[in-house]
């Protein structure tokens, strides 16, 4: 089990994946109920809802008094709250959160927290036969906690009536390499390469075993984005649509997986923009099988070199690790590991037009033609 401060670092690291933007980690004097705050932004970008967050590492269920005190701490400063616990909620607590008349409160329990981490491959290795815990993911927060000069201590009191929030010093408000990648919309290996090439300097690099793990101040995100010449996060539905279309049409391919994934996904999604990962994996493998029977060898090595011998579970893992993960990092798709559903993010799906989806189908086919030409032997 993580120490209290290591758990706080982990919890702060997860908030962007919950959906918060412009996050600031705060502490109420005496632990008054607000551990962080941020903005929930509507797809149009026109409405920002300031949100307070409370995270509790509990074994016992959260009771109604906990929700009552949290709502009291939110009052006057926030219109919305998110209560996160590693355990669960008593029925009366859920009812109070649901029926709160002035301040909306969403609750996240331990099972939902695990599902969120599985969705974004946080602390879970999925490239094995059976997904298992990535111990190093958690140990990095423990190592960082030991390095920190200033530890944020929990008060023995549950809450106080004080509403004075104390902002955590920037040097203590750190995010991991993967979360920085998520915020910048690049994969963590790219961030790692930037560090190793000297383009990016981490604010902390604790050792986990023999390897350094990189942490960055949260307040540097926009500065890093500007220094590296990266695009800002879209702020409206129209911007999300344009960003997705540009990403989907790019022809910079090291494998054929992205355009094949797009072809399959566009064929399978329902009216809500959803498709099951098993159906995607089945049709993904079938595409390579059909091409091979037509005399077209798309991949010259790897799992899909001989698709008839590719195990369906292995194909599913490949999809999750490679093309799907790239779309998730760009905030275009979501994957619910508990239900197996792959879906377009709501802010994107409601903006896409039928003719654009048809154009994407044609673009994916053109990408495949270019890829086959480029990789053709001789």
pLDDT in the model for residue 9: 87
Place of tokens 């006057």: 76
Q: Model pTM greater than 0.75?
A: yes
Q: Give residue-wise pLDDT tens across range 308-338.
A: 999 999 999 999 988 998 899 888 999 988 7
- Where residue 378 falls among pLDDT bands split at 50, 70, 90? low
Q: Give residue-wise pLDDT tens across range 107-156.
A: 999 999 988 888 888 887 755 555 677 888 999 999 998 887 444 444 44
pLDDT in the model for residue 154: 45
Torsion, Cα of 83, 25, 215, 345 (10° steps): 50
* Cβ-contact 259, 368 below 8 angstroms: yes
- Where residue 44 falls among pLDDT bands split at 50, 70, 90? low
pLDDT over threshold 50, residue 63: yes
Q: Give residue-wise pLDDT tens across range 69-102.
A: 999 999 888 989 999 999 999 999 999 999 988 8
Q: Give residue-wise pLDDT tens across range 206-232.
A: 999 889 999 999 999 999 999 999 988
Residue 270 sits at φ, ψ, to 5 deg, of -90, -170
- Higher-confidence residue of 5 and 176: namely 176
The alpha carbon of residue 140 and the mean position of all alpha carbons in its chain are separated, in whole angstroms, by 18
Per CATH, the number for 175-231 is 1.10.1660
User: CA–CA distance from 319 to each of 53, 206, 264, 332, 366 (Å)?
Assistant: 34, 32, 11, 15, 21
* Cβ-contact 148, 122 below 8 angstroms: no
- Higher-confidence residue of 256 and 158: namely 256
Tokens of 159: 């809450």
pLDDT over threshold 80, residue 1: no
Mean pLDDT, rounded, for 226-254: 89
Q: Give residue-wise pLDDT tens across range 7-36.
A: 888 989 999 999 898 898 876 544 457 889
User: What is the three-class DSSP state of 171?
Assistant: coil
**CATH 3.40.50.300 is the classification of domain 1-154:** no
Q: Give residue-wise pLDDT tens across range 147-196.
A: 874 444 444 444 334 445 567 788 889 999 999 999 999 888 899 999 99
pLDDT in the model for residue 124: 77
The DSSP symbol for 63 reads P
* Cβ-contact 339, 275 below 8 angstroms: no
């Amino acid at each position: 089990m993580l120490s209290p401060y290591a758990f706080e670092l982990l919890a702060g690291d997860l908030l962007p994946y919950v959906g918060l933007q412009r996050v600031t980690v705060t502490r109420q004097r005496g632990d008054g109920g607000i551990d962080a705050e941020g903005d929930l932004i509507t797809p149009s970008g026109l409405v920002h809802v300031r949100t307070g967050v409370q995270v509790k590492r509990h074994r016992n269920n959260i009771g109604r008094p906990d929700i009552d005190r949290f709502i009291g701490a939110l009052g006057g400063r926030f219109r919305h709250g998110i209560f996160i616990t590693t355990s669960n909620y008593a029925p009366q607590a859920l009812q109070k959160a649901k029926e709160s008349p002035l301040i909306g409160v969403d609750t996240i329990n331990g099972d939902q927290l695990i599902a969120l981490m599985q969705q974004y491959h946080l602390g879970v290795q999925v490239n094995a036969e059976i997904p298992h815990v990535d111990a190093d993911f958690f140990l990095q927060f423990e190592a960082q906690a030991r390095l920190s000069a200033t530890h944020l201590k929990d008060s023995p009191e549950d809450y106080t009536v004080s509403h004075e929030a104390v902002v955590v010093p920037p040097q203590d408000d750190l995010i991991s390499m993967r979360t920085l990648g998520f915020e910048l919309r690049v994969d963590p290996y790219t961030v790692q390469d930037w560090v190793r090439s000297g383009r990016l300097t981490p604010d902390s690099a604790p050792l986990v075993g023999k390897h350094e793990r990189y942490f960055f101040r949260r307040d540097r995100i926009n500065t890093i984005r500007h220094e590296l010449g990266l695009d800002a996060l879209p702020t409206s539905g129209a911007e999300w649509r344009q960003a997705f279309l540009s990403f989907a049409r790019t022809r910079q391919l090291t494998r054929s997986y992205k355009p094949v994934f797009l072809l399959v996904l566009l064929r399978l999604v329902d009216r809500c923009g959803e498709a099951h990962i098993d159906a995607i994996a089945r049709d993904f493998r079938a595409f390579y099988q059909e091409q091979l029977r037509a005399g077209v060898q798309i991949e010259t090595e790897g799992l899909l070199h001989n698709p008839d011998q590719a195990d369906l579970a292995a194909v599913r893992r490949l999809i999750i690790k490679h093309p799907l993960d790239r779309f998730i990092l760009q905030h275009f798709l979501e994957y619910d590991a508990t239900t197996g559903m792959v879906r377009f993010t709501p802010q994107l799906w409601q903006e896409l037009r039928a003719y654009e989806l048809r154009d994407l189908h044609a673009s994916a086919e053109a990408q495949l033609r270019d890829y086959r030409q480029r990789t053709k032997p001789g």
